[in-house]
């Protein structure tokens, strides 16, 4: 799957996000190294700390299905380009330092970074 198709998959789940407090909807699509794609959305909560980001939602779905090797993740939002928060960057780094992060205003204007670029010297117990 190419970057544009993965980004479009992230965009396709935006309406499923539950964001009644921020109205900032985010969709994510994670591509495993085996070629499977899992989606996730942000789910807000009255107790803000219980909110989960779309990136972690997608990765949790993949892990729940036995996948732990990720090639890329695309992130789309209802309000323009969105990069993963610090917690999500650390969460992604847990699964490898070569994961590609795809963001953009739309599918024709994409930016691609590695998790290593967005979280240099990330933390991992080994």
pLDDT at residue 97, as a whole number:
87
116 is catalytic: no
Q: What is the pLDDT of residue 10?
A: 98
Domains belonging to the chain, first-starting first, are 3-118 (3.40.140.10)
pTM: 0.96
Catalytic residue among 55, 67, 94, 105: 55
Q: What is the DSSP string of 13-61?
A: TGGG-B-TTT---EEEEEEETTS-EEEEE-B--SSGGG-B-HHHHHHHH
Q: What is the pLDDT along the chain (126 residues), one digit of tens a residue?
A: 999 999 999 999 999 999 999 999 999 999 999 999 999 999 999 999 999 999 999 999 999 999 999 999 999 999 999 999 999 999 999 999 899 999 999 999 999 999 999 999 999 887
pLDDT at 126: 76
């Amino acid at each position: 799957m190419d970057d544009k198709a993965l980004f479009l998959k992230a965009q396709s789940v935006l309406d499923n996000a539950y964001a009644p407090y921020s109205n900032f909807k985010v969709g994510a699509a994670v591509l495993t190294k085996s070629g499977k794609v899992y989606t996730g959305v942000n789910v807000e909560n009255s107790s803000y700390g219980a909110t989960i980001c779309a990136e972690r939602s997608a990765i949790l779905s993949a892990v729940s299905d036995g996948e732990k090797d990720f090639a890329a993740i695309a992130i789309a939002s209802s309000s323009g380009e969105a990069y993963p928060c610090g917690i999500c960057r650390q969460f992604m780094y847990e699964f490898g330092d070569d994961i590609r992060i795809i963001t953009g205003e739309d599918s024709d204007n994409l930016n691609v970074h590695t998790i290593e670029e967005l979280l240099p010297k990330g933390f991992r117990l080994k």
